[in-house]
Structure 1
Amino acid sequence: MINLTSAEDSVVKTHTDMKIKSFIGLVGLCALTGLFCPTESMAQKQFTLEDLNFGGTNFYNMRPEARYLTWWGGKPVRQDLNCCSLVDPVSGKEKLLFSLDELNRWAGLKEAGEVVRHLYGAEFPYADRPVVLVQNGHEDLYVNFREHRLEQRLERPAGLQARQWNSRSGATAFVADNQLYVTDAKGSKHQLTTDGSRNIVYGQSVHRDEFGIDGGLYWSPKGNRLAFYRMDQSGVADYPLVDIPELDWTPEKGESRAAKAAPIKYPMAGETSHKVTVGVYDLTSGKTVYLQAGDPTDRYFTNIAWSPDEKTVYMFELNRDQNDCRLVSYDAATGAKLKELYRETDAKYVEPCHPVRFLPWNDNEFVMQSQKDGYNHLYLFDKEGRLIRQLTSGKWVVLDVLGFNAKQKSIVYVSNECSPIQRNVWLVNVATGKRTLLDNGRGYHYPKLSEDGSVLIDSYSEPDVPRKYELITLKGKPQRHGYFTSANPWKAYDVPEFTCGTVKAADGKTDLYWRMVKPVGFDPSRKYPTVIYVYGGPHAHNVEASWNWGSRGWETYMAQKGYLLFILDNRGSEHRGKEFEQATFRHLGQEEMKDQMEGVKFLKSLPYVDQDRIGVHGWSFGGFMTISLMTNYPDVFKVAVAGGPVIDWKWYEVMYGERYMDTPQANPEGYAQTSLLQKAKDLKGKLQIIIGLNDPVVVPQHAYSFLKACIAAGTQPDFFVYPGEPHNMRGHQSVHLHERITQYFEDYLK
């Protein structure tokens, strides 16, 4: 999947003339109130990029104040710099558990290099024991805060590539120097592999992080068995990235002054991909078996899950065309295939992203997520693969399953049922199917559920609410309890007007959501230069009902400089159902451009938009969209900045590229239609392309090839590269990046 970069934190806005009642009609089920931010007309302060960009020196002071909360069993705990406190879920009152000084003293950490420096990451691994897990940089420390003593310290080995600890068995699985190890609760280390290398990868993410994969180590519920990935990428071609020496290089260091080859394994669309198998290690017997899934060539294995009794492993298996998905069970002791439990096919693609989850009150039934009815919903199956019932349905999407409330025999999940641009938390009774909205029905919520399902920590924002925290108790009738409201950190500043609305897609029927950021000191009688920020690709969105409609800080910075910003989520973006997402299949960028031009049509209807000064900017898929718009509509867009752009999908990786485009061999017309190489001759306005020299996602070949095509065509793009940087610019370099983006529009659009 193409990642959003630092140049694209995602968000959205709308038109000032939008009536609240019309918006309420749009969002349907849940009432929305207080959607518009009053402007601080008397404010005097001005923002800088150090305030608004995530790499800025003052960025975190300009974010709404956060509360860091975790769980100790069913009890919420506040993690702070110097202390951890128990939080009463009803009153919100806090009771000190321990301080940082006490913890360091109890752990016997006297040397300056060993002390724990803060408690923001403190964890409470045992629901029934007063133990906190903290780190001092090279060790995991388990401290009993009632008995005031260090119970255990586990060293983090040098060269650590992956690690997973199980609280039930106390065993740790880790990968170091390419080999897989397991350390049991007594500290005895067992080396499971000897052939690990850059070609043979153990215990780490495979299939380039697609299909919901974000790791490669999977403990069984009680920690007696470990499932792990083995990826053989010896047949995958190397891609030649280059490392540039640091600026402080000196001969005394004894290193070469020359740049070094830093090749990565990168399977391009239509080429040989890696082969993945799944092993299972048994702590008791010390033996490893591999799941007998058959030839792994051109297949994807994902969403590994365990049965509650640790006897069975479940896995989704997908063909390379990604249109035939099967859920299969395996015997964990022998690796033998037991049964194909479920099969789903689609004319375009099936995309399993979530493992099955067993009901905590019934070991014979599990919940599965699927888009088979057009929207991602929950389905209840028995362990033999028989469908019992569909648990949720409707033209909305289940976004996440948080867990279960065993006493009420219900599932707690997050969906956008209230509105396509909202995120709200719900409870569904497994037996009756009755759904209950648990939060306030507005805004964008990121709840966390306690292990026993009795309490929710709900962190959320609304378009005019920077950040708020509530505690929701689920014992009996759900009750919401106020905990903390963040102050508006922008109160003393000149803030633009943020609005949100809809336009119809190019199909004439589908609502597309947009965000608008009007210039500070907006005067409707003036005409303003306008910049469209675009992403537009799968698994991402920009417009949401969070603070300022999800607007990125750079948009505020540009509005302060007198620009109008416009952001539209076209068809192909996420959370709108299968038909909406699959509209772009086999011809990426084409339907997306049509939808973006409907946004341009709307902008041109506004008297304060200067039609002769329209620019566009995006990163990654948004960089692809930026150059696509700039070259397909050269008389509309005057200036563009494209970051990390895909130029031709035949150079993108197998899993993502082939899902949406098929292979170049199977879809030559689609690849030819979407390639930007042939559009280099159509470049008229000012275009700046920016990349990271060490980008492992959209490899530099894309940008270099487009430059070569422009040279051949006689067109003149500008180009800038960040040596040593990957797909996203890290740290303070992101401030430099956004200064550069801003200056390009200042030079050529204003």
Structure 2
Amino acid sequence: MKFSKLSLFVLLLSGSFHFAQNQKFSIAEAVNGLRSNLAVKNISQFSWSDDNKYFYQSAKNSYLKTEISTLRQDTLVSLHQLNKDLSPENRLKTIPKITFVSDDKGYYAQNSKYFRIERSGKDWKVNEWIVLDDNAENAEVLSNNQGIVYTVKNNLFLNKNGKVTAITTDQDENIINGKAVHQQEFGINKGIFISPDQSKIAFYRMDQTMVGDYPIIDWSVTPAVNKNIKYPMAGTPSHHVTLGVYDLKTNTKNFLNIEGDPEQYLTSITWNPDSKSIFVGVLNRDQNDMKMNQYNASTGNFIKKLFEEQSDKYVEPQHPLLFLPNSKTDFIWQSQRTGYNHLFHYNTEKGLIAQLTKGNWLVTDIVGFNEKKKEIVYVSTQESPLEQHLYKLDWTNYKTQRLDQGAGIHSGILSKDGTYLYDTYSSDNVPRRVNLINTHTLKTKNILNSENPLKNYQRPIIKNVTLKAEDGTQLFGKIILPIDFNAEKKYPVIVYLYNGPHAQLITDSFPASGNLWYEYMAQKGYIVFTMDGRGSSNRGLKFEQAIFRNAGEVEMKDQLKGVDYLKSLPYVDADKLGIHGWSYGGFMTTCFMLKNPDIFKVAVAGGPVIDWNMYEIMYTERYMDSPQNNPEGYKKANLLDKVQNLKGHLLMIHGAQDNVVVWQHSLKFLKAAVDHSVQLDYFVYPVHEHNVLGKDRVHLMQKVTDYFDEYLMK
């Protein structure tokens, strides 16, 4: 056989390409690689300049400044420039995260010290600004650069250019000020809310003296030390939350006069742009009735109710009001009232003006505004439940237009005037691409096209799967086939699942598998299957609320559709099926082993909910109602009286300091197993909370892998 020079070159090239892709993942790379040596290149600390002509990003030893029109890049401030003004004890080893309050001023924090920086000619001056208590947390900087509000233990403080004022002085450590409340449900991620004019500070005050103590033991010291936390379990007394307002000018504080059950939830805290009033979403404990109320910030008195949302299942506010630019009356409210999260235009005097977005898809984020063009830039699943794209919406005529290009998961940062959009996205085969988009012309400039860090590794075949639930609902999944897949062979299968609220496993993002550990297992000869059943996120209320009052029932039926699909494949060994999940997925894994004990031979359940009576109030009572109102649902979901059904091999894993799904869940399951003479395997991570992270996660996933190798591969 004769070869032309071209064909010989192609043969040699393909041979070297095959060799280049022959590398296998180590367990460390499979677990933490995408956060370490296999991380996808990214732009760090991106921000727009005030004049909308430049953008900033941090590099190893500097912040860079890039001109949008030409993409010409220059150093904005360097590590050397910062260190020139600093004393030896304050000198920096790497460039800090700088918050630029203007193009020539900013600040950064180093431990408990805050430093101001200011451009001086071609150089920068650095001055120590404020030193906080070493135990300071939750710091919020006043945007007029005059001070910092923060918490120390359970109280709230203001440091105004070195002068410290105690805003609260509660002696009981179980009365907490200025921190996130309600177990950080309802989109709550902070407890300090500074008024637009910087004259007042609103803050959460949570009284949890009526909530029972729960022990969390620190086993890393000898003797072990107990630290009680307040953990309100479903059906038990809940904490009482109020909202305080501190006036910086008068050094006085008052509390809003919010009527109703003291166990109700206060959400969506929003200052009126005039700084004279505050809007609060008042949600009843049953979570099926929310009133959006307005209160006078100075007197605390109720002004009026703007609107009310009710449901026969639950109302779940997740966002504050978002006022239109330079308006004190018009705002955007995100609501699921139509079955999907959409945008509604309200006026504080006239009420509802219009529903701005409509359809069987949902808005996932509001990126910002272009005031001049009367446009809102937002992210939605309009193209596909597996994708997220950027759109602009004219809030006067409701016309929408997609801004980005390329399938996948997009997110954006809008320039201050709304003219330019920083668009970063990935898809199954695009590790990361970053574009600058002119929101008017839609002209795009690519500023980053990341190389595939996995290009030299053996990658499995990954196929998208669409199945149907019993009611005809589409269910999206993925099947990852073993390396060197041979359709004539039969392979063991691992099903990975979560299938609980606020989580979506299947998206069009990088890597296509969704998890390098799946690919690691494929390299070892496993098929891996994962699917989002009803109850999962980003599919609308009907999809999510299908589990209401019956956790573990509808999800089980949907996952069984996945099992049926797997068993229909000639290359699946139906006698060698394994299942793995964590948290809600750990609950589902254990459910399968006890309610359908003949399907899976091997299971690993991590941090599992075993009895919903022992999980926190806000989450549990939203999806399960209260134990008093839904005793049958709680009984069906309780796994303690079903342990005797276990047939296969079950490894249960828990963090000993877990303050989310408390350790007692799996300990009670162990006791039930002993009582029924049922054998199972068990492992505890003594220094970890709900998730095992960092280097110890490699140990965790090696243990999971070894368990499947021992009982499923052989």
- Is the TM value for this pair above 0.5? yes
The whole-number CA distance in structure 2 between the counterparts of 1:144 and 1:226 is 27
Instruction: Tell me if structure 1 keeps the 8 A contact 2:132–2:159.
Output: no
Q: Which residue of the other structure, out of 651, 654, 657, is the alignment partner of 1:688? A: 651
- State whether structure 2 residue 175 is matched by structure 1 residue 200: yes
Alignment of 1:699-710 (within 5 A): 699-710=662-673
Q: Give the 3-state SS of the residue equivalent to 1:183 in structure 2.
A: strand
- State whether structure 2 residue 490 is matched by structure 1 residue 527: yes
Q: Give the 3-state SS of the residue equivalent to 2:564 in structure 1.
A: helix
- State whether structure 2 residue 27 is matched by structure 1 residue 49: yes
Q: Which residue of the other structure, out of 588, 600, 617, is the alignment partner of 1:625? A: 588
Partner of 2:77: 98
Instruction: Tell me if structure 2 keeps the 8 A contact 1:542–1:550.
Output: no
The whole-number CA distance in structure 2 between the counterparts of 1:442 and 1:497 is 20
Deviation (angstroms), 1:50 = 1.8
Instruction: Tell me if structure 2 keeps the 8 A contact 1:183–1:189.
Output: yes
Letter of the structure 1 residue corresponding to residue 575 of structure 2 = D
Partner of 1:13: none
Q: Which residue of the other structure, out of 219, 222, 244, is the alignment partner of 2:194? A: 219
Letter of the structure 1 residue corresponding to residue 175 of structure 2 = I
Q: Give the 3-state SS of the residue equivalent to 2:448 in structure 1.
A: strand
Unaligned segments of structure 1, at least 5 residues: 1-38, 247-256
Provide, for residues 696-737 of structure 1, a one-character-per-residue CA deviation record: whole Å limited to 9, x for no partner: 000011101111111122211100000021001121111110
Q: Give the 3-state SS of the residue equivalent to 1:470 in structure 2.
A: strand
Partner of 1:70: 47
Provide, for residues 60-113 of structure 1, a one-character-per-residue CA deviation record: whole Å limited to 9, x for no partner: 1212111112233333211111111112334433221121111221xx2241x4
Partner of 2:441: 477
Instruction: Tell me if structure 1 keeps the 8 A contact 2:513–2:519.
Output: no
Instruction: Tell me if structure 2 keeps the 8 A contact 1:365–1:380.
Output: yes
The whole-number CA distance in structure 2 between the counterparts of 1:92 and 1:469 is 13
The whole-number CA distance in structure 1 between the counterparts of 2:383 and 2:406 is 7
- State whether structure 2 residue 541 is matched by structure 1 residue 595: no
Deviation (angstroms), 1:133 = 2.2
The whole-number CA distance in structure 2 between the counterparts of 1:363 and 1:210 is 28
Instruction: Tell me if structure 2 keeps the 8 A contact 1:647–1:675.
Output: yes
Instruction: Tell me if structure 2 keeps the 8 A contact 1:89–1:472.
Output: no
- State whether structure 2 residue 641 is matched by structure 1 residue 662: no
Provide, for residues 332-354 of structure 1, a one-character-per-residue CA deviation record: whole Å limited to 9, x for no partner: 11111100001010000000000
- The Cα RMSD (Å) is 1.6
The whole-number CA distance in structure 2 between the counterparts of 1:355 and 1:400 is 12
Instruction: Tell me if structure 1 keeps the 8 A contact 2:548–2:624.
Output: yes
Partner of 2:10: none
In structure 2, the CA distance between the partners of 1:40 and 1:168, relative to structure 1 (3 Å rule), is farther
Deviation (angstroms), 1:169 = 5.3
* Identity, % of aligned positions: 41
Q: Which residue of the other structure, out of 86, 96, 117, is the alignment partner of 2:65? A: 86
Q: Give the 3-state SS of the residue equivalent to 1:61 in structure 2.
A: coil
The whole-number CA distance in structure 2 between the counterparts of 1:171 and 1:473 is 36
Instruction: Tell me if structure 1 keeps the 8 A contact 2:491–2:527.
Output: yes
The whole-number CA distance in structure 2 between the counterparts of 1:119 and 1:400 is 30
Alignment of 1:102-121 (within 5 A): 102-105=81-84, 108-111=85-88, 113-119=89-95, 121=97
Q: Which residue of the other structure, out of 613, 622, 627, is the alignment partner of 2:576? A: 613
Partner of 1:241: 216
The higher relative CO (CA closer than 8 Å, separation ≥ 6) is in 1
The whole-number CA distance in structure 2 between the counterparts of 1:47 and 1:159 is 41
The whole-number CA distance in structure 2 between the counterparts of 1:492 and 1:261 is 49
Partner of 1:504: 468
Partner of 1:130: 104
- State whether structure 2 residue 116 is matched by structure 1 residue 142: yes
Instruction: Tell me if structure 2 keeps the 8 A contact 1:92–1:482.
Output: no
Q: Give the 3-state SS of the residue equivalent to 1:362 in structure 2.
A: coil
Letter of the structure 2 residue corresponding to residue 71 of structure 1 = W
Q: Which residue of the other structure, out of 504, 515, 520, is the alignment partner of 1:557? A: 520
Partner of 2:480: 517
Instruction: Tell me if structure 1 keeps the 8 A contact 2:566–2:572.
Output: yes
Partner of 1:253: none
Deviation (angstroms), 1:550 = 5.6
> Could you tell me the TM-score, scaled by structure 1's length?
0.90
Partner of 2:506: 543
Unaligned segments of structure 2, at least 5 residues: 1-15
Letter of the structure 2 residue corresponding to residue 211 of structure 1 = F
Deviation (angstroms), 1:441 = 4.7
Instruction: Tell me if structure 2 keeps the 8 A contact 1:382–1:388.
Output: yes
Partner of 1:440: 405
Deviation (angstroms), 1:178 = 2.2
Letter of the structure 1 residue corresponding to residue 97 of structure 2 = G
Partner of 1:20: none
